[in-house]
Amino acid sequence: MYHKKRLPDKKGHFGDFGGRFVPETLIYALDELEKEYLGAKKDKGFRRELSCYLEEYAGRPTPLYQASRLSKYLGIRKVYLKREDLLHTGAHKVNNTLGQVILARRMGKKRVIAETGAGQHGVATATVAALFGMQCDIYMGEEDIRRQELNVLRMKLLGARVIAVKSGTKTLKDAMTEALRDWVTNVRSTYYIIGTVAGPHPYPAMVRDFQSVIGIETKRQVLRKEKRLPDYLVACVGGGSNAMGLFHPFFKDERVKMIGVEAAGLGLSSGKHSASLVAGSAGVLHGCKSDVLEDRSGQINNAHSIAAGLDYPGVGPEHAYYKEIGRAFYTAVCDKEAMEAFRLLSRIEGIIPALESAHAIAYLMKPGRKINKKSIVVVCLSGRGDKDLHESYC
């Protein structure tokens, strides 16, 4: 057994990581949110409403698909894909935004804001804001707006305002900083829907819980098909929400190995990557202590990845904790490898994966992969790749 205590603790710590590193002005909002969330978790009405939306609106449960041609190509006994790409809006992000928007409504908030990188979380937020009739502002880096034009158009069509962030690297990191500034300013009227398992407590735990539906379904589905648990779970890690959603329900199943795949960008030695766990160090960014990319004097470094959704110099604190206690293994694949996987899955399975999810597939293609041939592997296919066609042909 890893631990009997539930994590995070009362202050939001996962071992040395997590916590609340935010300006005083936001503390009351986080307290208020935590209270509301803990109440909602116990409330049957809330759970019923959320699962109703997840099933009838978003399309859950998603299939667990046995990718036979891929398995054969890879020389692995069985590879299953958890098809989050089939979910409404095209990625796992809507699992979380549905949960949070219902909380926002319970709290009487009329406006929601969000940060977005690839635009998937922005679209998922704009979608639920439209569904619940709320005002919605999305912060997105200028560089990402260029890379993910299609998602920008979707958000606008859904009635959201997309605010271009021109500071810093003009990507996800700066979008999140800007969203936090908005929240500090409009904290009384606005609900901030964070899209990943990072940020100040209670976000990492709350987003994990909302995304855990991925792992809970996977467990049920794989037990039905195989009468046993899988040997490996593989998922890409940017902020880490799809990976944590898959991993967390298996935490105590010690025989199930977990592999988180970060973005090595142009290569770990190039310095142009997003591998906070593999190549970063402990630090504090956007409200929590975790692993970050930083220089020796504590300035946050720029991240790089071909996948906008992984292009972030931090990671959820629970992943840093999993790494520290050895519960999960973290590795990284580079842009080129991810592109190969993107093409491979399209060609042999007829599934165009998001470039983010392609990182998970790419790890299975690596010659040195730490995966036994005779094993059963579940890969989280966190999103679909329609949004990436433009980038992949440039």
Partner 1 sequence: MNRIVKKFAELKKKKKKAFIAFITAGYPSLAVTGKLVLEFEKKGVDLIELGVPFSDPLADGPVIQEASLYSLKKKTTLAKIIALVKDLRRVTDLPICLMSYYNPVFCMGEKQFVERASAAGVDGVIIPDLPFEEAEGFANYAGRKGLVNIYFLSPTSSPERIRTISRRARGFIYYVSLTGVTGGRKNLSSDLKNNLSRIKSATSVPVCAGFGISSASQLRQVQRMCDGGIVGSAIVSKIRENISRRDLVKRTGDFVERFNV
Enzyme catalytic residues: 93, 115, 382
Q: Which of 2, 9, 16, 23 binds partner 1 (CB under 8 A)?
A: 23
CB of 297 to partner 1, least distance (A): 4
Stretch touching partner 1 by CB under 8 A, among 149-157, 282-290, 344-352, 384-392 = 282-290
The answer to the question of residue 223 lying near partner 1 (CB under 8 A) is no
Give the CA diameter of the chain: 55
Closest to partner 1 by CB, 31 or 43? 31
The answer to the question of residue 303 lying near partner 1 (CB under 8 A) is no
The answer to the question of residue 180 lying near partner 1 (CB under 8 A) is yes
| Helical H segments across 260-378, by residue range | 276-279, 317-325, 335-349, 355-365
The answer to the question of residue 27 lying near partner 1 (CB under 8 A) is yes
CB of 176 to partner 1, least distance (A): 9
236 alpha-carbon distance from chain centroid? 8
The answer to the question of residue 25 lying near partner 1 (CB under 8 A) is yes
Closest to partner 1 by CB, 19 or 122? 19
CB of 21 to partner 1, least distance (A): 5
Q: Which of 285, 351, 376, 379 binds partner 1 (CB under 8 A)?
A: 285
The answer to the question of residue 300 lying near partner 1 (CB under 8 A) is yes
The answer to the question of residue 373 lying near partner 1 (CB under 8 A) is no
Closest to partner 1 by CB, 187 or 197? 187
Structure tokens at 158: 């859904």
Q: Which of 71, 135, 186, 212 binds partner 1 (CB under 8 A)?
A: 186
Number of residues that bind partner 1 (CB under 8 A): 39
The answer to the question of residue 185 lying near partner 1 (CB under 8 A) is yes
Q: Which of residues 237-276 bind partner 1 (CB under 8 A)?
A: none
The answer to the question of residue 168 lying near partner 1 (CB under 8 A) is yes
The answer to the question of residue 21 lying near partner 1 (CB under 8 A) is yes
The answer to the question of residue 329 lying near partner 1 (CB under 8 A) is no
CA pair distance 355, 236, nearest whole angstrom: 10
Number of helices (H), then strands (E), belonging to the chain: the values are: 16, 14
The answer to the question of residue 181 lying near partner 1 (CB under 8 A) is yes
For 107, the 3-state DSSP assignment is coil
Distances (CA, A) of 221 to 63, 131, 388: 8, 30, 29
The answer to the question of residue 205 lying near partner 1 (CB under 8 A) is no
**H/E segment holding residue 376:** strand 376-381
Q: Which of 84, 115, 262, 294 binds partner 1 (CB under 8 A)?
A: 294
Alpha carbon distance, N-terminus to C-terminus of the chain? 48
Phi, psi for residue 13 in degrees, rounded to 5:
-95, 135
Nearest 5°: the CA angle 111, 197, 21 is 80
Structure tokens at 152: 């920008």
CA pair distance 208, 202, nearest whole angstrom: 10
Closest to partner 1 by CB, 285 or 339? 285
**H/E segment holding residue 263:** strand 257-265
Residue environment code for 10-28, b if the CB has 16+ CB neighbours within 10 A, otherwise e: eebbbbebbbbebeeebee
Closest to partner 1 by CB, 25 or 372? 25
Q: Which of 188, 227, 373, 374 binds partner 1 (CB under 8 A)?
A: 188
Closest to partner 1 by CB, 110 or 347? 110
The answer to the question of residue 164 lying near partner 1 (CB under 8 A) is no
Q: Between β-strands 78-83 and 376-381, what pairing exists: parallel, antiparallel or unpaired?
A: parallel
CA pair distance 179, 186, nearest whole angstrom: 10
Q: Give the contacts of 229 (CB within 8 A, at least 6 positions apart).
A: 219, 222, 223, 250, 253, 255, 256
Q: What share of the chain is helix, strand, coil (3-state, %, to 5)?
A: 50, 20, 35
The answer to the question of residue 9 lying near partner 1 (CB under 8 A) is no
CB 345 within 8 A of CB 352: yes
The answer to the question of residue 15 lying near partner 1 (CB under 8 A) is no
- In the complex, which residues of this chain contact partner 1 (CB under 8 A)? 11, 19-29, 31, 167-168, 173-174, 177, 180-181, 184-188, 282-287, 289, 292, 294, 296-300
